[in-house]
Structure 1
Amino acid sequence: MGIPNRTSHANRSVSQVDPGGTVSEASNYIGGSFGRGSAEPLDVIDPATGAVVRTYGSDDASSVAAAVAAASAAYPEWSRATPAERSGALHALAAELTAREDELVTQECLQTGKPRRLAAGFDVPGSIDNVQFFAGAARRLDGMASGEYSGDHTSSIRREPIGVVGSIAPWNYPLQMAVWKVLPAIAAGNTIVLKPAENTPLTTMLLAEACEAAGIPAGVVNVVNGTGPAVGSALVSSPDLAMTSFTGSTATGRVIAGLAAVNGTRLHLELGGKAPFVVFDDADLDAAVHGAVAGSLINTGQDCTAATRAYVHRSVFDEFVAGVADLMRGIRLGTQDDPDTDLGPLVSFRQRDKVAGMVEKAVAEGARAVCGGTIPGGALADGAFYEPTLIVDAAQDSSIVQDEVFGPVLVAIPFDTDDEGLALANDCPFGLAASAWTGSVFRAHRAARELAAGTVWINDHIPIISEMPHGGYKASGYGKDMSAYSLDDYTQLKHVMTELTGAVQKDWHDVVFTTRS
């Protein structure tokens, strides 16, 4: 069976509308066709300026039903495609995205406010690399080797796709999170309906366009846009889904788990994070300072693995705090296309106000902002900016330490012994990522063993690679993104047991009945 090369709409670009326009060309991609939702209009806002980038008619439950139906119709053919055929389609998708790299960077920056340097150096190339990885991984969906375990049967394992996957992606890395959802699902032979965040749909629609141009069959990838209550709930509640995958806050993840439980839908959840950054007394302090600033400010702190809680040995605590504060004060805030911009705005004014409110509460409870802690004025007053902020003197059980801020805020707390430092690091509901900074191989291995997180970095914080898994412990969810391990979550195992003797009456029949003459 061959996969048709569908290029009939390849010249129609959903991004041809001027960024300053008021209505997009399309707001959904269902069954291989771009369309417009008829529900309430939603605005895409440039958070650096407050200007409306695009307005689109959002989808509703009827669009979700149509998308799920299209994915269901496409599933039999796509699931039976050979690994080589699926791999070829994904390699073509990687080529399409590479050809559109500049356009993807521009749209990603418009809708998120992130500096072009970040989108061009991390978001977009990382997304393309992930597509390339899964194009290869699609060809090695291995099962256990056949063998005779009972003596008179041969057992083998089939690894098969699950069915239709309904996925919801967040707004912090719109393209990258869409890729993390779509690629392992379709590489394994599933079909998918993806809902991006309602305020950042632009690059997801470009991804859909690239899927069409790459010849991925109609209905394999579908995109619907709208709010969580209107569109996300309808998607997760569909009885025709075999699996739901969600990335976002732990609170929303619990709601989604409840909705999915009604139909017994399989779940894949990548939820919140509150990554500890443990600095022992033998660490390279300059490296730790730079790592803490970069790790806490990446994507304006809107990263679930961002360094948020620095636990620093008391003997070097003051020096660490002074170094971080000094480096943070030199960070330049600005708009996307300014090459000197280090830190962009928060994704929305609502998010900025949430961050500001959490810092204000912490200060009111006795903590102190060594630097930052303010909304900048002047030329930045029209955007959703917030100053890089370092907090000290916060209690371990305070909300600024225990709850996800998702902004450019780092809390520093001293410790006296290795036992205390590691215990404080684990004293949090979340467990997505952590790092340890030390010159001792023994401390490094102890930290790697004891830190309760899905990713532990030693003497670094943030880097990810497509070959290795990303996923959490505890309230940070379960299931893996990226790597061949994620394919485990998007496949199901079937045990096939073949009888070898041809005997009419098997030995085990004696436990049920005895043949009488």
Structure 2
Amino acid sequence: MEYLNLIGGEWVASGSGNTTATRNPADNRETLGTVQESTSEDAIQAVEAAVAAQQDWRATPGPSRGAVLREVAQLLEARKPDLTETLVREEGKTRAEAAGEVQRAIDIFYYYASKAADLNGEVKASSSRDATLRTKVEPLGVVTAITPWNYPIAIPAWKVAPALAAGNVVVLKPASMAGAIAHDFARCLDDAGVPDGVFNVVTGSGSTVGDALVTDKRVDAVSFTGSEHVGNIVYQNAAPDQKRVQLEMGGKNPTVISDSADIDEAATIVGTGAFGTTGQSCTACSRAIVHEDVFDEFVATITNYAETLAVGPGVDDPDMGPQASETELESTLNYIEIGKREGATLETGGERLTEGDYAEGYFVEPTVFSDVEPDMRIAQEEIFGPVLAVIPVADFDEALDVANGVEQGLSASVVTDDLTEAHRFVDEIEAGVAKVNEKTTGLELHVPFGGMKASSSETYREQGDAGLNFYTITKTVYLNY
């Protein structure tokens, strides 16, 4: 199947005439279809379509916008089995993980469908007689959303739904690696009756399509999720026009294991955070920072946990699927070699799986390193694969220092039965998400999400009520009658 762009309500091929195949990472012989290698002219046409639709959608009452979003949610729900299948075969998630992600997209549209009716403002007491004082919330206008391949339906949903609920129009540039699920997602919005031009999708390279969408003067805001390197480029390119920018980038997420922790519980929390979604989550746990008194016990337990995981094609619903591409697999294998050279102890894993059902896919064993020093590259740099670095520390103070001793600050957790440690962790950890006795992954959709330090632009949060703030601007009204 050839997956087309959606521009102004029309499904169209790129002017380039070129396409890119999207393949099954569990079996690279299987091609799902081809996505457009779009040009900057395609991106400009999408912006033009959005601009043309802006005023009518802005003037549409909030409850009416909410009704359209509710229809989107219902279509996503009706098509959940097919969307799940596409996600499994294109991105490599296990069937359970893929179904969970599709459900998150459904829930997000239902959530913001209800929120659309509440976007109005506040009434304040005036200092004058015969006067009213109030605020009025208005949409920004044209929004560019740039999304990654690792959550290719949930992340577009949590950008697009609040943007549309607030009355904005959107041009989405999804990752080409996830072009099939992006197309099916867009088809749901189109079939639900989102007006022509209100929502547009253009696939292609970031350097061509992304750059055109970020630098177009008619674009009012850019919401980006992806790597720190690309995010910084997006920020710089948007700055000359003073566009509103929201960046959510990588993480080097720690879980601190206290000497008071139940080690079996701790290993389960760390293991699900480290190896779920094949470690390909920006919130995945990549560092376990463990008190020296329980270090050996934890290493043995987490090693056993990793060795018992079933790895296989996502369609079989194993514990862990493949990496999403050959490039991602090669990066992970390279970091494993770096860990060995740095002197860390490889406890388990570390090898590509190539026999039998693994022969045509991008599979790697769940990998655990112990005796990792905090300044090693495998303890400092985001790997984005199923690799866990276990770091020993002498006490809780050192654990906090090590946890905070990286450039990123996205998600962090602690496993402890000590209430003082729990409160200190929440107060002192440098991360946008702090969890106690929970894995670093997994987010509630009605509360803010975002990072600190190099993980984020530290401007606006996503999801919940905070997710609407990015897409709106406040006007203050003084009315003397």
Q: Deviations over 1:178-209 (max 9, x none)?
A: 11121111111100000100111111111211
Comparing 381-390 with 88-97, greater Cα deviation is found at 381-390
Kindly state the Cα deviation for residue 369 of structure 1 after the two structures are TM-superposed.
1.3
1:91-127 per-residue CA deviation (whole Å, 9 max, x = no partner) reads: 111001111001100111111111112112x111111
Provide the C-alpha distance between the structure 1 equivalents of 2:127 and 2:148, rounded to a whole number of angstroms.
45
Would you say the 8 A contact 1:90–1:135 is kept in 2? yes
Deviation at 1:497, TM superposition (A): 2.5
- 1:483 is paired with a residue of what secondary structure? coil
Structure 1 position 359, deviation (Å): 1.5
Is the aligned partner of 1:483 residue 2:460? no
1:494 to 472, 475, 478: 475
- CA distance in structure 2 between the partners assigned to 1:436 and 1:454 by the alignment: 14
Q: Conserved in 2, the CA contact under 8 Å of 1:438 and 1:444?
A: yes
Equivalence for 1:373:
350
The amino acid of 1:275's aligned partner reads N
SS in 2 for 1:465: coil
Show the counterpart of 2:397: 419
Shift of 1:38: 3.4
Equivalence map 1:172-183=2 (5 Å): 172-183=150-161
Matched, 1:84 2:63: yes
Which residue number corresponds to residue 104 of structure 1?
A: 83
* Superposed counterparts of 1:343-358, under 5 Å: 343-358=320-335
Output one character per residue of 1:271-328: Cα deviation in whole Å (capped at 9) or x when no partner.
1111110111111211110111100011100000011111111111111110000010
Structure 1 residue aligned with 2:406: 428
Preserved contact between residue 35 and residue 176 of structure 2 (Cα < 8 Å)? no
- Is the CA contact 2:400–2:428 (under 8 Å) kept in the aligned structure 1? yes
> Given that residues 35 and 203 in structure 2 are in contact (C-alpha distance below 8 angstroms), is that contact kept between their aligned partners in structure 1?
no
- Alignment-derived partner of residue 278 in structure 2: 300
The answer to whether the 8 Å contact 2:372/2:392 transfers is: no
Of stretches 456-465 and 98-107 in structure 1, the one that deviates more from structure 2 is 456-465
Shift of 1:463: 2.5
Correspondence for 2:6 among 29, 45, 50: 29
More divergent stretch after superposition (381-390 vs 55-64): 55-64
Matches within 5 A, 1:282-297: 282-297=260-275
Q: Match for residue 13 of structure 1?
A: none
Give the % identical residues: 37
Alpha-carbon distance in structure 2 between the residues aligned to 1:365 and 1:286: 29
Select 1:225's aligned residue among 195, 198, 203.
203
Residue pair 1:27, 1:58 contacting (<8 A) in 2 also = no
Q: 2:33 aligns with which of 54, 62, 73?
A: 54
Partner residue in 2 for 1:504 = none
Deviation at 1:168, TM superposition (A): 0.5
1:135 matched to which residue of 2?
Answer: 113
CA contact under 8 A between 1:36 and 1:58: conserved in structure 2? no
In the alignment, the residues of structure 2 paired with residue 443 and residue 172 of structure 1 have an alpha-carbon distance, to the nearest angstrom, of 33
Matching of residue 212 in structure 1 with residue 212 in structure 2 = no
1:183-194 matches, cutoff 5 A: 183-194=161-172
Residue in structure 2 matched with residue 515 of structure 1 by the alignment: none
2:428 to 432, 437, 450: 450
Residues of 2 paired with 1:390 and 1:355: CA distance? 13
Residues 191-229 of structure 1 show CA distances to partners (whole Å, capped at 9, x for unaligned) of: 000010011111111121111211111111100011111
Unaligned runs of 5+ in 1: 1-16, 18-23, 501-517
CA distance in 2, matches of 1:303, 1:290: 17
Residues 376 and 385 of structure 1 are in contact (CA less than 8 Å); yes or no, is this contact kept in structure 2? yes
- Distance in 1 (alpha carbons) for counterparts of 2:92 and 2:253: 24
1:65 corresponds, among 44, 47, 56, to 44
1:235 is displaced (CA, Å) by 1.1
- Verify the 8 A CA contact 2:5 2:36 in the aligned structure 1: no
Say whether 1:474 aligns with 2:463. Answer: no
CA displacement, residues 422-475 of structure 1 (integer Å, 9 cap, x when unaligned): 111111111111001111222211111111111111101122111111111111
Match of 1:512 in 2: none
Equivalence for 2:336: 359
Using the alignment, how far apart are the partners of 1:316 and 1:143 within structure 2?
A: 53
Instruction: Give the distance between the partners of 1:108 and 1:176, measured in 2 at CA.
Output: 11
- Once the two structures are TM-superposed, the CA of residue 395 in structure 1 deviates from its matched residue by 2.2
1:390 aligns to what SS in structure 2? strand
Residue 279 (1) aligns with residue 257 (2): yes
The residue aligned with 2:144 is 166
Greater Rg by CA? 1
Answer whether contact 2:119 2:166 (CA < 8 A) is retained: yes
* 3-state SS of paired residue (1:332): coil
1:241 equivalenced with 2:219 (yes/no)? yes
Q: Which amino acid aligns with 1:481?
A: E
Q: In the alignment, which of 305, 309, 312 is matched to residue 331 of structure 1? A: 309
Give the whole-Å Cα distance in 2 for the aligned partners of 1:303 and 1:456: 16
TM-score using structure 1 length: 0.89
TM-score, length-normalised on structure 2?
A: 0.96
Q: By how many angstroms is 1:389 displaced? A: 0.6
Q: How far, CA to CA, are the matches of 1:151 and 1:271 in structure 2?
A: 50
Q: Return the letter of the residue paired with 1:287.
A: E
Counterpart selection for 2:297 from 309, 315, 319: 319
Unaligned runs of 5+ in 2: none
Compared CA separation, residues 240 and 279, structure 1 to 2 (3 A): same
C-alpha separation between the residues in 2 aligned to 1:320 and 1:139?
50
Q: Which amino acid in 2 is paired with 1:363?
A: K
Structure 1 position 394, deviation (Å): 2.3
Task: Call closer, same or farther: CA 1:348–1:155 in 2, change over 3 Å.
Answer: same
The CA distance in 1 between the partners of 2:451 and 2:115, in whole Å, is 22
Residue 26 of structure 2 aligns to which amino acid in structure 1? A
- Superposition deviation, residue 149 in structure 1: 4.5
Task: State the SS of the aligned residue for 1:353.
Answer: helix
Shift of 1:499: 4.4
Q: Secondary structure at the match of 1:464?
A: coil
